[in-house]
Amino acid sequence: MTLHTVSIELRQVALNCLAEADAGLKANAVRQLAEDWRTGSIPLELSTAPVPNQPIPGRPSKPQLIAPRLLKHRAMNTLEGRAALIHALAHIEFNAINLALDVIWRFSKMPAQFYADWLQVADEEAYHFGLLNSHLQSLGFEYGDFDAHNSLWEMAERTQGSVLARIALVPRTMEARGLDASPQLRAKLAQAGDSAAAEILDIILRDEIGHVAIGNRWFNWLCSQNKLEPVLTYQQLSEQYSAPKLRPPFNLEARRQAGFSETELAYLGAL
């Protein structure tokens, strides 16, 4: 399959990347697509969505995907325990690449900046995956060596018919949980002596604040276009699509930087 051809428009190439099963090839193709976009060598078609001719998302045969409750918990004071955590983070980033690509190809007739923003997200998620995968390999492991779960993509499937629901419940819910979890995960890795992994998490947190901010900006834009009140709409969508319940601890400062309103932050603080 040809992943990158400058004569094909942006959203078709994004779909091609999404269908790619090899994790490394997918990440590299996304980074190339983003570079082509930045240099103006690829066009954008807004009016219609391309049609998948292969299963999506493409993913490698491993890791095996199992229910989150079945994942083994490993001690962080062992090499395998640290590798398992790095692997889990790499898997999240792999899924995040797919999520951003899916938004780009699936939803038609949005402003051009919408597609540019989500391509930036896909590019940065591919960068994160590369950092984590390289570090995992330095520990003697490969992506696919541990089991993983599929919760992020399952939410994408549930919201595939509504761009409003997708933006509300993936970046603003599932990915925002990454902002909350990051300080504790970083502390665990630093305490275990893995300063390289801790530094990677600093990079990821910095970029993920921007990704959630993009989600907030487009959610509020969609609410404005449809004359919807954002806080009430978010609550209704969370119930309708059975989104995970929000539970503390919350990284309120990171969420504030990512554009959550003071009303939303006060609600989270009360939890």
Instruction: Show pLDDT as tens, one digit a residue, over the chain (271 residues).
Output: 444 444 589 999 999 999 999 999 999 999 999 999 999 999 999 988 899 999 999 999 999 999 888 888 888 889 999 999 999 999 999 999 999 999 999 999 999 999 999 999 999 999 999 999 999 999 999 999 999 999 989 999 999 999 999 999 999 999 999 999 999 999 999 999 999 999 999 999 999 999 999 999 999 999 999 999 999 999 999 999 999 999 999 999 999 999 999 999 999 988 7
Give domain status of residue 157, yes or no.
yes
Q: Is residue 189 a part of any domain in this protein?
A: yes
- Residue 82 belongs to some domain of the structure: yes
| Model-wide pTM > 0.85 | yes
Residue 87: which residues within 8 A CB-CB, separation 6 or more?
Answer: 63, 136, 141, 143, 145, 146, 148
Question: 265 is in which domain, residue-wise?
Answer: 72-270
What's the one-letter identity of residue 250?
A: F
Q: What's the rounded Cα separation, in Å, for the pair 140 and 126?
A: 21
Alpha-carbon span 164 to 269, nearest angstrom: 25
Tell whether 44 is covered by a domain: no
CATH number at residue 115: 1.20.1260
Q: Is residue 261 part of a domain?
A: yes
Specify if 41 maps to a domain. Answer: no
Number of domains in the chain: 1
